Amino acid sequence: MFVDEAEIILKGGRGGAGIVSFGKRMGSGPNGGNGGSGGNVHLVTDADLTLLNQFTAKSLFEAGDGHLGGRNRKTGKNGENLEIKVPIGTSVIDKKSLETLFEMKKVGQWELICVGGKGGRGNYEFKSPRRTAPEFAQPGLPGEIRELILILKLIADFGLIGLPNAGKSSLLNELTNARAKVADYAFTTLYPNLGVFKGKVIADIPGLIEGASFGRGLGISFLKHIEKVGTLLHCISSESKNPTKDYETFAKEMKSFNEKLTKKPEIILITKSDLTDAKALSIMKRKLKKYAPRIITVSIHDWDSIEELKNLISDKT
Ligand SMILES: Nc1nc2c(ncn2[C@@H]2O[C@H](COP(=O)(O)OP(=O)(O)OP(=O)(O)O)[C@@H](O)[C@H]2O)c(=O)[nH]1
Ligand SMILES: [Mg+2]
């Protein structure tokens, strides 16, 4: 399962109560201390995470409560702060206002979400010339509560996109140490896979078909994962009967999801080139020329073509 959206509730800890206390000797004044503050809740990025699955089993997270004040004006201990780890690429949205609060983009990013409640004041603080022996103290205040929607958009340098069965996952496996499932049928890949080649992150995006924007196939929701991809590697199989139609089908669905995606730098990869002769490949190239400034032919069975693709990936910054 690949969870890329989650709703969570975060609560700052409650402040500890102030206490009522008096010195032991006859006539000595109040000395009840203040309660400690409730703990804060932070969101932090964790580079090892690539999913939001951790939020399916549990969605309520609370920082620690502040401790009671003590005798002799001792302030109670503050509640434990809580750090919630999220993957890089998580957008944090306030559920009530639907405002985007943060984009968790950087390694080690740390954001304060809920402030813990203040501790209550102990009776010592209420002492005054007119009220020398106050018999009351304050309770602690509740911590802030926030309901958040988390949406993960993977961040990658390159995104392999295209119709089902175009050979996207095979290329990811060839270029990186990923072990994505490969099979000779549509929709083998059900959620994005990531791999790294020479420090460049490559995302393999599930295939989509005509009508995906209306929910056909796997739909288009996973196109959100190419919003933060640098360069698109648009894969079109050399087996295609109509490569321009293949290209346009994908582009149309992408545009209906988010027009900005069609403006991203794009390289067309004519895949499975071993299955077609050189003449047919050059006709395909000519037909596709109008869509992208660079078109290369690749096959997982042609070592030179994979080398060319590797050079292209490592050169491009
Ligand atoms: N002959 C040949 N077959 C290939 C090549 N690349 C992939 N294939 C085969 O094409 C089929 C589909 O490959 P995948 O990598 O699963 O394709 P995909 O684009 O990831 O497919 P989806 O995940 O369903 O969108 C598999 O049977 C692969 O073995 C290639 O360069 N040459
Ligand atoms: Mg695949």
Q: Do residues 270 and 236 lie in contact, with contact meaning Cβ atoms separated by under 8 Å?
A: yes
The pLDDT of residue 25: 85
CATH 3.40.50.300 residue ranges for the chain: 156-315
CA of 217 to the centre of ligand 1 (A): 18
Q: Do residues 140 and 15 lie in contact, with contact meaning Cβ atoms separated by under 8 Å?
A: yes
The pLDDT of residue 121: 98
pLDDT tens track of the chain, all 317 residues?
A: 789 999 999 999 999 999 999 998 877 899 999 999 999 999 999 988 989 999 999 999 999 999 999 999 999 999 999 999 999 999 999 999 999 999 999 989 999 999 999 999 999 999 999 999 999 999 999 999 999 999 999 989 999 999 999 999 999 999 999 999 999 999 999 999 999 999 899 999 999 998 888 888 888 888 999 999 999 999 999 999 999 999 999 999 999 999 999 999 999 999 999 999 999 999 999 999 999 999 999 999 999 999 999 999 998 65
Measure the CA–CA gap between 82 and 140, rounded to whole angstroms. 19
**Which pTM value belongs to this model?**
0.82
Ligand 1 contacts CB of residue 184 (under 6 A): yes
The pLDDT of residue 317: 55
CA angle 79, 88, 43 (to 5 degrees): 15
Measure the CA–CA gap between 75 and 16, rounded to whole angstroms. 9
Q: How many CB atoms lie within 10 A of CB 314?
A: 12
C-alpha torsion sign, points 93, 94, 98, 99: negative
The pLDDT of residue 27: 79
CATH 2.70.210.12 residue ranges for the chain: 1-152
Measure the CA–CA gap between 193 and 189, rounded to whole angstroms. 8
Give the number of the atom of ligand 1 that is nearest the alpha carbon of residue 299. Answer: 31
Tokens of 184: 């000779």
Q: Which amino acid is at 227?
A: E
DSSP string, 39-88: PPEEEEE-TT----THHHH--EEEPPPPPPP-STTPPPPPPPPEEEEE-T
CATH code of the region 1-152: 2.70.210.12
Measure the CA–CA gap between 91 and 43, rounded to whole angstroms. 11
CA of 16 to the centre of ligand 1 (A): 61
Tokens of 19: 């206490």
Tokens of 101: 């609060």
CA of 182 to the centre of ligand 1 (A): 6
Architecture of domain 156-315: 3-Layer(aba) Sandwich (3.40)
Measure the CA–CA gap between 150 and 111, rounded to whole angstroms. 14
Q: Which of 181, 182, 184, when mutated, tests ligand 1's pocket best, judged by the most ligand atoms within 8 Å of its CB?
A: 182
Tokens of 167: 């050979």
